[in-house]
Amino acid sequence: MAELIGIILALIVSWGVTGLMCLAGPRLAPMDIPNHRSCHMNPTPRGGGIGMVIGFVLVATLFSMTGVVSSRFSLSLISGSLLVAAIGFCDDVRDIPAIWRLTVHFIATAVFFYFSDVWSGFHGLVGLSVILVMMVGMVWLLNVFNFMDGIDGIAAMEGLSVTTGAGLILFLNKDRPDALLVLGVGAICLGFLLWNWPPARIFMGDVGSCFLGFVIGGIMLKTVVLEHSMGAYSWLILLAVFLTDATITLLTRIFKGEAWLQSHCSHAYQQASLFYSSHLKVTAGVLGINIFWLFPLAFFVEILPSYRILGTFIAYLPLIVVVFIFKSGKITPHKNRT
């Protein structure tokens, strides 16, 4: 009962704080002014992810106090994610050079790895290599959520759907503590999404998107490396839409010799929003892909792990095709859309 109350409180806090920032506008939140790299047309408050941060700290602390999650893991995830949120908020208020953001991201990831004991099972040169790969992967995931937070509702919806799918799998595998924790993350996404669903009244900002990617990455590593309660392939399938679009777009921009560290609006989902002149259609479409395509495949490879490589290939192949159809990496002139 206490766990359910904690999840509900996280939702209410996320919704309430976001609502206050939305209603107060520029008095509490920095304004996102449209430019040639934007996918929106009107000035909109950003930094609304602060409500998500507060909601998560609340539920993670409560779960730590009630013994649902160990105090050590809870502290490591809160500490690292707050570092990520802090640099994200600074970037929302005033642009921070990418190198400084990445430096803080790696420091936050190192803090999480050390205090969560994720590294403790790996030894020698091979173990060190695996740890470095996991750290880079976690930093990449938090930036993926940042890159993909470019149209109304998409990042919060992805966070909600991924954590819901992961929570169900973890319950299926009898890892109730981590299922509750990941559903707590889903709750803060839902609280924010009520204000961010197209047409959005407030944006998540870097403070929310990077924070969300970091927290999901941390729970992913806990369930895969520490608890062995959910397979890495199941997580990769649940995250497939974001990972496919962000990775292919980045590689395309690098291959074309573009300034890939700079902001842009050339992801496939952004091209799709231009094509359909709608944020709602694209966000709802991604939700449909998650529910009707990726969820079943994630459950399939979890139940039949011998098919995990085949299942992952099947999950990603059509998404790769779609990303190329929408010509990720291509800059398209803007037109009005909602």
Confidence (pLDDT) at 27? 66
- Contact of 328 with 252, CB cutoff 8 Å: yes
Confidence (pLDDT) at 337? 43
Domain ranges of the chain: 2-230
Confidence (pLDDT) at 209? 98
Confidence (pLDDT) at 263? 72
Burial 96-110 (b: 16+ CB within 10 A, else e): beeeebeebbeebbe
User: For residue 300, what are its two tokens?
Assistant: 């399939």
Strand partners, 45: 31
Say how far apart CA 206 and CA 220 lie, in whole Å. Answer: 21
User: Which helix (H) or strand (E) segment is 103 a member of?
Assistant: helix 98-116
Q: How many C-beta atoms lie closer than 10 Å to residue 54's C-beta?
A: 17
Confidence (pLDDT) at 22? 87
Strand partners, 32: 44
Could you write out the DSSP letters of every residue in 108-159?
Answer: HHHHHHHHHTGGGG--HHHHHHHHHHHHHHHHHHHHHHHHT--STTHHHHHH
- Contact of 273 with 282, CB cutoff 8 Å: yes
> What pLDDT digit, counting tens, does each position of 252-284 carry?
988 888 776 677 788 999 999 999 999 999 999
Where the chain has pLDDT below 70, the residues are 25-29, 31-41, 260-261, 329-338
How far is Cα of residue 38 from the mean position of the Cα atoms in its chain? 20
Confidence (pLDDT) at 39? 63
- The C-alpha torsion from 57 through 189 and 25 to 209, rounded to 10°, is 80
Global pTM value: 0.94
Say how far apart CA 83 and CA 106 lie, in whole Å. Answer: 10
Say how far apart CA 1 and CA 90 lie, in whole Å. Answer: 37
| Three-state secondary-structure class, residue 68 | coil
Which residue type is seen at 210? C
Confidence (pLDDT) at 123? 83
Which one, of 246, 160, 154, 142, lies nearest residue 200 by Cα?
154
Task: Supply the angle between the helices 50-65 and 176-196 in degrees, to the nearest 10.
Answer: 160
Say how far apart CA 239 and CA 141 lie, in whole Å. Answer: 9
Which residue type is seen at 307? Y
- 252-255 long-range contacts (CB < 8 A, ≥24 apart) are 252/328, 252/329, 253/329
